[in-house]
Amino acid sequence: MVAEAFYRYKHQEDTTAFTMWQMLEPQAETIRAGLARLFGCDPNEIAITRNASEALQILLFGIDLRSGDEVISTTQDYPRMLTALRQREAREGPTVKLVKIPLAPENTDDIVNAIEAAITPRTKVILISHMVNITGQIMPVRKICEMARARGIETIVDGAHSFAQLDFKRDDLQCDYFGSSLHKWLYAPKGAGLLYVRKDKISKVWPLMASVDKGKDDIRKFEEIGTHSSATRLSIGEALLYHDAIGAKRKEERLRYLSSYWMNRLKKLDGIGFNTSFSPDQFCAIANFKIEGGDPLKITEYLMAKHKIIATPIIHAEFSGIRITPNIFTTLRELDRFCGVIEHLVKNGAAKAQYS
């Protein structure tokens, strides 16, 4: 459905410039309204971007910061965002403080406390992932945002993996800013993203690409990127329809059920550990496990080469493991097959995953 819409719009926009700019592009306002409805905010607080990286870098480079100001994030946040912060630190002098957060905590207040302990009078912004991409950890975003607001600190939430995977609204988070990619869990075409900016903060954020002054209070100033495809944007509409047809709550429950299925089977094995909590409020589609004595890189290479099973090796300074991410269309039979291969590896030694 989404792919068909993309090719249909692509064919239309390739006819004339008039068709693209005067007929197709204005329809993006319908997409803006649909995304705002799903997120639970005013359409004039939603900008349509190309991905989460663009949305979040608009914020990380656009919020006024001075030398001596502090930005707090975590060591598990997305590398591209941390790179953006480091670049701004190098150019303009704001200090970046990365907090080490616990893996699979028994109580998510441990995460809140770790971030709160890093706050000083110079802290201006906190950047946190709603769902950590390497472990699937669902962060206690609301508690962090409310704690920050009470201290006059702004919050940016990286929702690259949470948007359309988890059933939530803007008011459930209480953040000032939010960015996401729409190709991940909304199933829109690649090159589609979302940026939320609280209405009273739009005029305070510089656009990544220059915009005329009259648009300083207009969320659309963040969309000034030059010539771009209308087809990608308009196809988001079909993705929204598909998401609504499934149902947000039903979708989240399906994804958590699939992860629980393989996690509960593998946790019975000696030599298997998890970097993801089993608490339902801390995980959904993404989870990370480890095989004692096994090399994640060699194991994932083996899974693909010998069994055509896709898994992602995670090598982090603080831990390592293998990320598994079923989707709504993944079957229990496929998960049984995956678990069977892992059980065989554990039984025969993870070194069996090495091949020449």
* pLDDT, position 356: 37
Residue 301 and residue 322 in one domain:
yes
* pLDDT, position 350: 62
Task: Kindly calculate the radius of gyration of the chain based on its CA atoms and give it in whole angstroms.
Answer: 21
Residue 86 and residue 131 in one domain:
yes
Residue 275 and residue 308 in one domain:
yes
Residue 128 and residue 225 in one domain:
yes
Look at residue 84 and tell me whether its pLDDT is greater than 50: yes
Residue 112 and residue 144 in one domain:
yes
Residue 222 and residue 341 in one domain:
no
DSSP strand E in 206-284: where?
272-274
Last residue of a domain, one of 245, 276, 309: 245
Residue 48 and residue 74 in one domain:
yes
Total domain count for the chain?
2
Residue 37 and residue 103 in one domain:
yes
Residue 267 and residue 196 in one domain:
no
* pLDDT, position 207: 94
* pTM for this model (two decimals): 0.93
* pLDDT, position 344: 93
Give the pairing of strands 287-291 and 272-274.
Answer: antiparallel
pLDDT digits (tens, 9 = 90+) for 107-139: 999 999 999 999 999 999 999 999 999 999 999
Q: d(Cα 160, Cα 128) in Å, to the nearest integer?
A: 11
- In which domain, by residue range, is 168 found? 2-245
Q: d(Cα 268, Cα 289) in Å, to the nearest integer?
A: 13
**CATH classification at residue 294:** 3.90.1150.10
pLDDT-based confidence at residue 294 (cuts at 50, 70, 90): very high
Give the pairing of strands 70-74 and 123-129.
Answer: parallel
Look at residue 73 and tell me whether its pLDDT is greater than 80: yes
Last residue of a domain, one of 230, 245, 260: 245
Q: d(Cα 322, Cα 296) in Å, to the nearest integer?
A: 6
Residue 281 and residue 308 in one domain:
yes
* Mean predicted lDDT score pLDDT of the chain: 93
* pLDDT, position 38: 98
**CATH classification at residue 143:** 3.40.640.10
Percentage of residues in the chain having pLDDT higher than 70:
93
Residue 157 and residue 279 in one domain:
no
Largest CA distance in the chain: 67
pLDDT-based confidence at residue 163 (cuts at 50, 70, 90): very high
Last residue of a domain, one of 213, 245, 277: 245
Q: d(Cα 100, Cα 111) in Å, to the nearest integer?
A: 9
Q: In 3D, which of 57, 18, 93 has the Cα closest to residue 179? A: 57
Residue 29 and residue 152 in one domain:
yes
